[in-house]
Amino acid sequence: MRRAVALAAITVCLFTGLPAQAQDRYPSRPIKLLVPFPAGGPVDVMGRLVAQHLSTALGQQMIVENRPGAGSTIAGKAITTAEPDGYTLLVGSAATYAIGPTLYPNAGYDPNTFTPIAFVSSVPYVMITRPQATQRTVPELIAYAKANPGKLNFGIPNGAPPHMLAAWFRNLTATNIVIVPYRGASLVLTDMIGGQVDLGFETTSVTFTHVHEGKVRALGVATTSRLPELPDVPTMIEGGVPDFVAASWTGIVAPPGTPRAIVDKLNAEINVGLKTPLMQERFKQLGAIANPGTPEDFAAFVAKEQPKWVNMVKLSGVQPE
């Protein structure tokens, strides 16, 4: 009997010690990084840069898996139902935290249960117009839109963040600018360059080249101060639109309940990567700003951004397809 009790006690100790031992050995196998957007876009590229750095730093392969669809909620649900062992991660954004769950209330997950790991990047939005437009500033645009309701239009990827920004702009400026939905930013830019679209909102990663080549004109940047790359372009706030600050932001998150030791290890390595000259240069080429910081920094940022984007979705009146 004594031997049986002793053996049982040893067995319990061994099994209860496994989680800690597994964390100490983490990672011992490949890690999957879910990207809720198609391959080739800015978010996908930045996710792959992070994955490449982590693969080298952790000595394990990082497998990037694109899971677009349903306003990013497919990937959002996948991360909340994955094992909280650090082997499934997600590139979180305004889409997974706010836009998708608001558009799809039955998406099957609560973004507030994500485990924040690291803030990765932010990419400012720019208000752009066709080069032939006579309105050369945001105040001129607002004045014209108020005097000519319904004559101007926004070319906007349907249901995407620029759609929310267009609705927010109309609400803040009390203007009636028609929103024309498109299937993607490239189609918007093609029609804007051709003169069929008046206005749009896109990130600097999408617009920089076209602005510098004179194919589209930047009216305002949605930042608190002017961008060094566009020093002559006023902020939206300077243009008379109070508090109009918005960026496409990304961060790495894990399933609910992921152990703190794993979170801290991933956070430390991601921050090292974000500070390397190689990643700094690649982010700069994408018009992105690297944002190293603690998990708490990212959580605080999300807590501030999430309600803003939820409100924009409601203002837009967008209905899920």
Domain with 168 in it: what CATH number?
Answer: 3.40.190.10
Q: What is the pLDDT of residues 36-75, one digit of tens each?
A: 998 988 899 999 999 999 999 999 999 999 999 888 999 9
* Residue at a domain's end among 205, 221, 237: 221
- The pair of structure tokens assigned to 116 is 């924040």
Q: Are residues 10 and 117 part of one domain?
A: yes
Are 101 and 109 spatial neighbours (Cβ–Cβ below 8 Å)? yes
Can you tell me the distance from the alpha carbon of 90 to that of 79, in angstroms, rounded to the nearest whole number? 7
For residue 199, being part of any structural domain is answered with: yes
- In residues, how long is the chain? 321
For residue 227, being part of any structural domain is answered with: no
Q: Are residues 284 and 175 part of one domain?
A: no
Question: For the chain, how big is the Rg over CA atoms in Å?
Answer: 23
What confidence category does residue 22 fall into, taking pLDDT thresholds of 50, 70 and 90?
low
pLDDT of residue 321: 59
Q: Are residues 301 and 153 part of one domain?
A: no
Q: Are residues 119 and 252 part of one domain?
A: yes
- The pair of structure tokens assigned to 288 is 């992105």
Arithmetic mean of pLDDT over the chain: 91
Q: Are residues 130 and 117 part of one domain?
A: no
Can you tell me the distance from the alpha carbon of 165 to that of 313, in angstroms, rounded to the nearest whole number? 9
Q: What percent of the chain has pLDDT above 70?
A: 92
Q: Is the pLDDT of residue 161 over 70?
A: yes
**Strands 247-254, 88-93: pairing kind:** antiparallel
Q: Are residues 208 and 133 part of one domain?
A: yes
Can you tell me the distance from the alpha carbon of 270 to that of 187, in angstroms, rounded to the nearest whole number? 34
Q: Are residues 270 and 188 part of one domain?
A: no
Q: Are residues 109 and 130 part of one domain?
A: no
- Kindly report the CATH number assigned to the domain that includes residue 308: 3.40.190.150
What confidence category does residue 318 fall into, taking pLDDT thresholds of 50, 70 and 90?
confident
Q: Are residues 166 and 32 part of one domain?
A: no
Q: What is the pLDDT of residues 291-304, one digit of tens each?
A: 999 999 999 999 99
Q: Are residues 132 and 78 part of one domain?
A: no
Range of the domain at 156: 124-221
Q: What is the pLDDT of residues 163-180, one digit of tens each?
A: 999 999 999 999 999 999
Q: Report the domain count for the chain.
A: 2
pLDDT of residue 67: 94
Higher pLDDT, 286 or 233: 233
- The pair of structure tokens assigned to 318 is 């967008």
Q: What is the pTM of this model?
A: 0.87
